[in-house]
Structure 1
Amino acid sequence: MSSQDHQDQKVAVITGASQGIGAGLVDAYRKLGYAVVATSRTIAPSNDAGVLTVQGDIADPGTAERVIAAGVERFGRIDTLINNAGIFVAKPFTNYTRDDYAAVTGVNLAGFFHITQLAIERMLAQGGGHIVNVTTSLVDNADSNVPSVLASLTKGGLQSATKSLAIEYATRGIRTNAVSPGIIKTPMHPAETHETFAALHPVGRMGEVSDIVDAVIYLEDAPFVTGEILHVDGGMSAGR
């Protein structure tokens, strides 16, 4: 099927798409009628003709180039980019290694930077688009129980960049928003940690993947909202 057959169908690119929040977002955007370009290091091919999967490490600029090029070749356009891929390493600050630093900055910062540049170039050519960055509530609300300087350094940068992009492109039809989750029940967190993590939230429970997916879909359909950091964190960012 050529890209010409798809010109009216919107297209979402989702990083970190193989499990957890990313996989939930793939399903949600398909339900909205979008075609989806889904990428992660381990993602398997999809049986759904409306989902194109691209394997690769998002820290590598070459992955970003392949993802955007493949999406345009298959579907003809890029309307939404969800920067969901992220690495979280919680360690005392002086215990972080050079490898930790390289891995976390590679995915969380370089990964965001390269694919967002390419997506925005495409959106400008089309006359509009939407970017959603997935950050973490620890950016606004550091917690003595969770030493997380690398998360704050990288996801905090992403949160600030969300506002910069929103303002830079506000008159050109491109909105940029962020969702700032608390701790979400995903395969990243084994069941034995759930009770401890639940207690870190004022509401006394962890979030569900659907809580984050619903927030992203709200932002997708909110034409007057840009530069917003939407906290979906059971009250963590409000205080303790």
Structure 2
Amino acid sequence: MGLKIKTVLVTGASSGIGLDIARGFLEKGFNVVLNARDEERLSIAKKTLGDEKRTANVVGDIGDPETGEKMVRAAVDRFGSVDVLVNNAGIFGAKPFLENTEEDIDRFIHINLKGTYFVSQAAVRQMKQQGGGSIVNIGTVLVSHPIGSIPASAAMITKGGVHALTTSLASELAADNIRVNLVAPGMIRTPLWGDANVDDFGGVALLNRVGEVQEITEAVFSLATAGFTTGVILPVDGGYVHGRA
């Protein structure tokens, strides 16, 4: 990618996809700055990763601009640089269109849209000083291929904004040697499903199964290190966007 990658920032890193992304980058030799809102869960996540020397925790709400700034300071002070940002933190919820309240909309905007925007701002300021970097956002295939039985318009207008931000920043920041891409997961086995049986949704994919968090990590790492790739929206969905065979 034109520069030696040393440190990655991962938001929403206390469980699920974010925690596995942190694990994957650690295994590749990266330093990792982890973020989540819950201090106890983030502490447990760091212990799970088992590498105190190459990990740092920053507790905070990414919808608040100072959280991204704290993450960048932690990375620079501890490890010397910010080379990759993975905007993984986000919330999802299914609710019929006519039942969504102003509070619902504000909650999705705060985390999904403002959070991604403000953490990216903080990281890009540092990346420009270093001569480049890479951002990988996490979106969803449901932005362009919704499912009627999962009404999620409030979540999707904000995730759609993240998709738009990805291509916009890819264009704006290319001259600064900063690449911006997005992984759009399909149905992935994560704690977000709660008590629901995620395997019930495996049939929507051509591969006739749900995805695993490790498969998202592989895609994120590939885009983070692909030096001639920017502005890409990459579905990782088992062929869901192409319909059933």
TM-score by length of 2: 0.90
Matches of 2:71 and 2:209, distance apart in 1: 36
Higher helix fraction (1 or 2) = 2
Q: Which moved more, 1:202-211 or 1:190-199?
A: 190-199
Identity rate, percent: 42
Structure 2 residue 216 is the aligned partner of structure 1 residue 216: no
Partner of 1:187: 191
What does 1:1-240 correspond to in 2, within 5 Å? 10-42=6-38, 43-44=42-43, 46=47, 48-190=52-194, 192-240=196-244
Q: Deviations over 1:46-72 (max 9, x none)?
A: 452100011111122221221111211
**1:133 Cα deviation after fit:** 0.4
Task: Work out whether residues 12 and 80 of structure 1, in 8 Å CA contact, stay in contact via their aligned partners in 2.
Answer: yes
Q: Which amino acid aligns with 1:36?
A: V
**1:9 Cα deviation after fit:** 6.4
Matches of 2:120 and 2:209, distance apart in 1: 33
Matches of 1:74 and 1:13, distance apart in 2: 12
**1:22 Cα deviation after fit:** 0.5
Task: Work out whether residues 5 and 84 of structure 2, in 8 Å CA contact, stay in contact via their aligned partners in 1.
Answer: no
Q: Which moved more, 1:98-107 or 1:81-90?
A: 98-107
Count of matched residue positions in the alignment of Structure 1 and Structure 2: 233
Q: Which moved more, 1:119-128 or 1:216-225?
A: 216-225
**1:191 Cα deviation after fit:** 5.4
User: 5+ unaligned residues in a row in structure 1: which ranges?
Assistant: 1-7
Matches of 1:193 and 1:52, distance apart in 2: 34
Greater than 3 Å deviation, 4+ residue runs: none
User: 5+ unaligned residues in a row in structure 2: which ranges?
Assistant: none
Q: Which amino acid aligns with 1:114?
A: F
**1:132 Cα deviation after fit:** 0.3
The DSSP-based 3-state class of the residue aligned with 2:197 is helix
